[in-house]
Amino acid sequence: MTAQLINGKDLSQQIRKNIKEKASQLTEKYRQPCLAVILVGEDPASQVYVRNKVKSCEDCGIKSILQRLPADSTEKEVIDLINALNQDKEVDGILVQLPLPKHISEQKIIETIDVAKDVDGFHLHNVGALSCGLPCLKPCTPHGVIKMLESANIDLEGKLALVLGRSNIVGKPMAQLLLEKNATVILAHSKTRNLQKLTLQADVIIAAVGRPLFLKAEMVKPGAVVIDVGINRNSEGKLCGDVDFENVKETAGFITPVPGGVGPMTITMLLENTLIAAENSFQKKENQ
Ligand X SMILES: NC(=O)C1=CN([C@@H]2O[C@H](COP(=O)(O)OP(=O)(O)OC[C@H]3O[C@@H](n4cnc5c(N)ncnc54)[C@H](OP(=O)(O)O)[C@@H]3O)[C@@H](O)[C@H]2O)C=CC1
Buried-exposed string 52-61: b where 16+ CB fall within 10 A, e elsewhere: ebbebbeebb
Decide if 97 is catalytic: yes
**Separation of alpha carbons 103 and 141, rounded Å:** 26
Looking at the DSSP bridge assignments, the partners of residue 64 are 35
Torsion of CA 83, 87, 88, 90, to 10 degrees: 120
In the set 114, 118, 120, 203, the catalytic residue is: 120
Cβ closest to ligand GUE, residue 40 vs residue 231: 231
Decide if 244 is catalytic: no
Q: Annotation-wise, does 24 bind a ligand?
A: no
From the list 28-36, 63-71, 81-89, 190-198, the region that binds ligand X by CB under 6 A is 190-198
Binding of ligand GUE by 259 (CB under 6 A):
yes
Query: Per-residue contact track with ligand X, 221 to 260, x per CB under 6 A?
Result: --------xxxx----------------------------
Using CB under 6 A, which of 163, 169, 178, 185 touches ligand X? Answer: 169
Cβ closest to ligand GUE, residue 39 vs residue 204: 39
From the list 56-64, 206-214, 269-277, 278-286, the region that binds ligand X by CB under 6 A is 206-214
> Binding residues for Mg ion, per CB under 5 A?
167
Query: Per-residue contact track with ligand GUE, 114 to 143, x per CB under 6 A?
Result: ------x-------------------x---
The full DSSP string for 82-121 is HHHHHH-TT--EEEE-SSPPTTS-HHHHHHHS-GGG-TT-
For residue 266, which phi and psi values (nearest 5 degrees)? -60, -45
Of 265, 282, 273, 269, the C-alpha closest to 115 is: 273
| Residues within window 94-113 making contact with ligand GUE, judged by CB under 6 A | 95-98
**Separation of alpha carbons 140 and 23, rounded Å:** 18
- Residue 229 interface partner, choices ligand X, ligand GUE, Mg ion, none, CB cut-off 5-8 Å depending on type: ligand X
Binding of ligand X by 190 (CB under 6 A):
yes
For residue 150, which phi and psi values (nearest 5 degrees)? -60, -40
